Structure 1
Amino acid sequence: MARATHKAGVEEKGKRTTRSADVYLPKEGESSLCKKCGALYQNKRWTMDEEELKKASAVKGLAQAVCPACQRMADSNPGGVITFSGAYLMEHEDQILNTIKKIEASSRRKNPLARIMEISQEKDILTVATTEDRLAQKLGREIYKAHKGELHYHWSHGESFVRVSWSR
């Protein structure tokens, strides 16, 4: 007897739905190489591991694709947005930006899809858009741990999107 390959959750009592309707999740199948950033999709995950990339580059006819992070960036559709504000931000802007970049680099080593899409500043408000909601949460949490202040999370209903605000 064949089983369904998708997992289902319960949205309303008695109604079954697929767990994730994220359009950026890759389709199952063969290995692929992102034609924009060079990330490799293999064994149901994206990686930038150099050893795996070398092995995959030796394979002839490796499929070309666009990873979910590059697709989000092309669509200008962030997974999370963090706003930093307050007088303290202006006094410690370089320090906070360095912390943000270090956290992104650390996260990207573990998960190549966790990226900062854009950093913009208007007056005393710094806005950071990320490809993943978890990276946005982590950035807010780490800045809060290092600099205190007020931290708030606002999740979108039904989507993997978070708006994080930090102020001091």
Structure 2
Amino acid sequence: MRREKIKMLSYLKFTEDSDDPYRCEYPNNSYCTECDIVYIDKNWKLKADNEFKKNPIVCPACKKIKEEYYEGILYLKGNFVLGRKDEILNLIRNEEKKQRARTALSKIGKIVENAEEIVVYTTNDRLAYRIGKALFKAYKGELTIRWSDDNIFTRVYWERND
């Protein structure tokens, strides 16, 4: 595993052809019965007319959430996080909306809060990376990103104490 401490956030290129076991072809005009996204011309769309919704399925992102197969985990620690929890969770949800506008399969699976930290589980590695990057840009702090060897799984650590 590579470890990278972020001081200046540089551009990071992601590989498109990962070995995601949940990626496969679906019949055109399939729609997810869980989150209502639609598969049209080999792409998942957030919004589509009802005329395109013909084949009910469960999308790969919803399958990952059900089976707890997460590709990104974001750990938030520090007094700053606990003091501004609502504000930070709002930023996380907004970043998810931005990413879903680009890629409909980017979802937050669950958010676990305890007395010491907040842990965010995402359906893909890009979303965890982008949320960590947005937190660093907005609030500074210390950001550490750990990629797996094949860039499929990412752990992002963000901490600020003040």
Q: Is the 8 A contact 1:32 1:64 kept in 2?
A: yes
May I ask how many residue pairs the two structures share in their alignment? 144
Q: Determine whether 1:166 maps to 2:158.
A: yes
* Aligned residue number for residue 90 of structure 1: 82
Partner residue, 1:31: 29
Contact 2:26–2:39 (CA under 8 A) maintained in structure 1: no
Aligned pairs for 1:3-42 (under 5 A) are 19-27=17-25, 29-42=27-40
SS at match of 1:98: helix
CA contact (8 A) 1:32 1:40 kept: yes
Taking the aligned partners of 1:126 and 1:23, their CA distance within structure 2 comes to 28
Q: Report the Cα offset of residue 63 of structure 1.
A: 2.2
Note the residue ranges of structure 2 that are not aligned, 5 or more in a row.
1-16
C-alpha separation in 2, matches of 1:90 and 1:40: 37
With structure 1 as the length reference, what TM-score do the two structures score? Answer: 0.79
Pairwise CA distance, 1:48: 1.6
Q: Which residue does 2:96 correspond to in 1?
A: 104
Structure-to-structure mapping, 1:109-124, within 5 angstroms: 109-124=101-116
Choose from 52, 55, 58 the match for 1:56. 52
Task: Name the CA shift for 1:82/1:104 in 2 (closer, same or farther; >3 Å).
Answer: same
Number of the residue aligned with 1:8:
none
Q: Does 1:129 align with 2:121?
A: yes
Shift of 1:27: 1.6
Structure 1, unaligned runs of 5 or more? 1-18
Q: Distance in 1 between matches of 2:19 and 2:95?
A: 28
Per the alignment, in what secondary structure is the counterpart of residue 49 of structure 2?
helix
1:138 Cα deviation after fit: 0.5
Secondary structure of the 1:89 match is helix
- Which is worse superposed, 75-84 or 102-111? 102-111
Question: What root-mean-square deviation, in Å, do the aligned CA atoms of Structure 1 and Structure 2 show?
Answer: 1.6
Instruction: Specify the structure having the higher radius of gyration (Cα).
Output: 1
Partner of 1:156: 148
Query: Structure 1 CA distance, aligned partners of 2:60 and 2:158?
Result: 27
TM-score, normalised to structure 2's length? 0.81
